[in-house]
Chains A and B, each alone.
Chain A
Amino acid sequence: MAGSFLPDNPSAWTYRSWGELMAIPREQREALQLEAVRISFRRLRDRIPALKKLADRQGVDTIDRIEDILPVCFDHRVLKNYPIQIIENRDFARLTGWLDKLTAHDLSRVDLAGLTTIEQWLGRLEAFGMLVTYSSGTTGKLSFVPRSYDELGPWKFHFFNVNQASSGVDAWTTKLPTFFPGYRGGYQTMLKMMSLFNVEMAGGAEHYHTLYDTHIPADLMALSGRLQAAEDKGEIASLGLDPALLEQRRQMLAQARSRDGDLEVWFARMIERYRGQRVKIGGTFSDMYRVARAGLDKGLRCEFAPGSIIEGGGGMKGYKDAPDDWEDQIKLFFGIDRMGNQYGFSECIGNAPLCKAGYFHLPPYSVPLLMGPDGEALPREGVQTGRLVLVDVIPLSYWGGFTSGDEVTIHWDGKCDCGWDSPRVAKSIRRFAENEGGDDKITCAGSQQAYNEFMAFVQGDA
């Protein structure tokens, strides 16, 4: 018997078990999703200024069919459509004014007195009731997700749920000491989720181990490009940055240089200390592979207790020329069979765990659509490939419709071999822009960035 779900309160869906969520019959799920999208859009259309502007421009007032939502989903760029100059000038009034258009909260009431860094600004927003996190792309420009405490509960329930779905471990009851070969603290989305959820899942801060106890300040991330350019010209001083921040940058650069060595030493310590215990290893697969390869080369193997898990992400991004059997090598070195994987983006609460059959399953509160090359909605049936659009129906304080930069293939029909019933995303995910052009299209019209890559190549750095 299928469970009962109200479209008015998708947050409550996250309290149900993953099994229940994956057992909603398609017809019921799609009707529920359409109604939930309708309600969410109706509630937020005139409350979120940026959404109102977009909906007015597109002339969208009501949602009759699910495809009607497509023109009013924010392109992922909307979360970073402020001029980089206001970050460089640390113009917090304008930055706050910009963010204010993305949230139902009245940010004009936030006290901005005395702020000198973006880290402080994010802290001030948190004290006000926001839970704004950021992510940064290759350009370094920060994209801010305008989340708030209104979403914290369902965010947490979903997170525990999705981790159980991908790892088989119920983190509400089973606490596993965790190693994460990265930074700690701050507002970068993954790091904020660590302090909000992962530490508790590990059984407390003393059981959550990171490579470094610090994090890269948002300010340094945001200004990385600008700082590099200024340094090249010998003009760092003219940026007027806090000397402490520049010192931090120096340390970060030094840390980055010694990272591979630090990583090996740190992992060796963790492996020794937790021998025979059940553990969880998190991080990017490229880091795990790096450690595994170094260990295997020395003839080493880990000896953790059965039931240990690996929860990774990021594919092999950042590791050149990975062998085809990298997954097996990781499993062999760590002595762990269960390798969990998830797919999602920071704009959307409901990310998708990888099932045993090798597909990412979206929860019912993340409503997927696929967009074709001309911006048209692709049919929600069969197997389709296009740009992924997700409408997150959980948020109450911001609009959850987002057009991603990812090209994915979705299998819409039938139950998956794993037994879960939901639209499923194949593992072949790629950045949309990579598709344009031929195998190696060459053009002479270029950009600074292409140039920098070019020089790195000429100098032998690439």
Chain B
Amino acid sequence: MVAVVDIPIIARGRVIMPGDDAVEFKGRGGAAFRQADPHQHIHDLVLGDTARMRDLHDTPMAEIIELLAELGKRLSLDDNPLMQESFALALKAGGLAEPILRGVYDALPQMFSAAGMTALVDRTIGLDYIDGWVPSGGEFATVAIRAIGTRQLHITAGNVPVVAAMTIARAGLTKSDILIKSPSNDPLTANAIARTLIEIAPDHPLTKHIAVAYWKGGDEFMDGQIVRTSRIDKITAWGGMSSVRHIQKFLTPGIDLTALNPKYSMSMVGRETFASDAAMEECAIGLATLAGFYNQTACANTRIVYVESATDEDSIERVVDLGRRMLRAYALIPPLLSVPFTQRNRELEAEMEAIALEDDFYHVEGDTLTGGFIVSKFNDRVEFFDKLNNRVVNFVPVDSLADVLKWCDDTTQTVGLYPESRRRGLRDAFALAGVQRLVSLEGGDPMTVYGNSHHMPPGSPHDGIEPMRRSVRWVVDMQPARQAAELGVAAE
């Protein structure tokens, strides 16, 4: 018997618990939830009157950041029962093992550091621009520009709880009114953060501009009610298709869609790797780290490794050797980043078993518990590459790393590279092909490799775009130039 978890609708500072009109829905792993019927609460979720954003608009960014920093401190798992509930549910959903998930939750407060958030706003929008009208210099002194908050719908992804935290932080940092549509596989995290905010500052403008609810993807009534130019300016859609598919019908000019669509990541290994045992080992550790961190649930995880290698028996044997070293290196990754799985991935194992019968074309080793690899004995990836998971990686021999370009496009997010000496020759061609991030497999130990691939300044581009900059409205205030001339005279 599965217990039904009651989750509230968060409506701009109010917590609406499910009552007699509650609706039930299912999450991953058979979890069941009850929430007040969102159909009855449309007006609690949307903001039709933009004048009501004035309170947030007039709040200085420093004050918002101070509150968010305070919120961050309260998100610790140790003493926040709401976060504990969210954590327990995420754990049950089974996407991430306990030590990893705990690490992710433990890192949430750091996302709200005052210094980090200040830098984020300043680098992407500019503190002056979010707090006031900034005159353009020189002969354009009469033209002022300001970043204005918008009304946003966020269709969030549930595979990593970071998304919920980031969305709430960014709402404040852009002085925007947000409605978060929770995913069925993580309906609690955004909820827990918003409720914590209500606890510490129930009447603050920031609190008054956050709404969180779940409704079923494809609920035309909801989408039709919400996605209107009179109610929403911007939509950010994360991840898979199913729950945003129908919103498309309601998109009209005037609503800006930022589609952070599904991404795929890979690594490239140059032939230099096979020159020494030390290089093989360093590369294998790099691969294990990029494939293994967060147990391969993130878009940035390597799933395919293109290797500069011939396809004769001896060459393939060397690639198999690299794969075995990678499997051994999984054991070196601290449990905070990666652990063996406790449940098999039957679907993937069925794919692996089906091609294991074909040893003319494939070499298959390992499983979906501790990890595994498939070596293609020809120049192509397996056709089920989009199912690669559970630390299972496909090694694909190529004549030259430049050949990998044909598999790259806008869906290719992160590419790991070994050795570094190849970077210059490849960077621009891969950037043109659509790749969004080039990271390194060098380092020789998992924490170094992981650190190098995650050490980015605040406000760095995400999936090739700058979401913060895009989620505000850039408004131009133009006074007559004559007045400027007079001002100019007066100043003399």
Contacts and interface: CB of A to CB of B under 8 A. Distances in A.
B376 interface: yes
B260 to A, nearest CB: 7
B357 interface: yes
Nearest to A460: B248
B386 A449 contact: yes
Nearest to A88: B380
B357 A83 contact: no
A373 B351 contact: no
Nearest to B380: A85
A293 B358 CA distance: 48
Contact of B240 (A94, A443, A460): A443
A162 B242 CA distance: 38
Interface string B347-388: 100110111111011000000000000001011100101100
Interface in B289-306: 297-299, 301
Contact of B217 (A75, A439, A454): A439
B257 A458 contact: yes
Given A443-B157, A457-B248, A438 B27 contact: yes
Interface string B143-181: 000000000000111111001000000000000000000
Contacts of A78: 354, 357
Given A83-B378, A439-B25, A443-B159, A451 B410 contact: yes
Given A450-B262, A462-B245, A439 B350 contact: no
A445 B159 contact: yes
Contacts of B28: 437-438, 441
Interface string B301-324: 100000000000000000000000
A406 to B, nearest CB: 14
Contacts of B263: 444-446
A53 interface: yes
A447 B263 CA distance: 6
Interface string B209-228: 00000001110000000000
A387 to B, nearest CB: 9
A97 interface: yes
A16 interface: no
Nearest to A83: B361
B239 interface: yes
Contact of A454 (B157, B160, B241, B350): B241
A285 B39 CA distance: 34
B429 interface: no
Contacts of A443: 157-159, 185, 239-240, 262, 297
Contacts of B184: 438-442
Contacts of B185: 437-438, 441-443
Interface residues of B, number: 62
Contacts of B410: 451
Contact of B242 (A75, A81, A374, A442): A442
Given A438-B185, A445-B297, A462-B245, A81 B261 contact: no
Interface residues of A, number: 47
A442 B299 CA distance: 12
A85 B160 CA distance: 35
A457 B411 contact: no
A309 interface: no
B262 A445 contact: yes
Interface in A415-462: 433, 436-451, 453-455, 457-458, 460, 462
Contacts of B380: 83-85
A457 B245 contact: yes
A139 interface: yes
Given A439-B184, A444-B239, A448-B264, A82 B358 contact: yes
Contacts of A439: 25-27, 184, 216-217
Interface string A58-85: 0000000000000000110110011111
B424 interface: no
Contacts of A101: 357-358
A191 interface: no
B122 interface: no
A433 B386 CA distance: 14
A98 interface: yes
Contact of A445 (B27, B299, B361): B299
B409 interface: yes
Interface in B253-306: 257, 259-264, 297-299, 301
B262 A446 contact: yes
A141 B297 CA distance: 27
B248 A458 contact: yes
A433 B347 CA distance: 8
Interface string B29-58: 101000000000000000000000000000
A148 to B, nearest CB: 20
Contacts of B376: 83
B378 A97 contact: no
A396 interface: no
B240 A447 contact: no
Contact of B262 (A54, A75, A440, A454): A454
A19 interface: no
B301 A451 contact: no
Contacts of B248: 457-458, 460, 462
Report the 9 A-B pairs with minimum CB-CB distance, sorted nearest first.
A446-B262, A447-B386, A440-B217, A77-B354, A438-B184, A443-B159, A442-B239, A440-B243, A442-B183
9 contacts: A438-B26, A440-B184, A444-B160, A444-B262, A445-B264, A446-B386, A447-B386, A451-B410, A458-B248
Given A77-B355, A81-B354, 16 more contacts: A57-B356, A81-B355, A85-B379, A139-B383, A438-B25, A438-B26, A440-B243, A441-B158, A441-B240, A443-B158, A443-B185, A445-B297, A447-B262, A450-B261, A457-B244, A457-B248
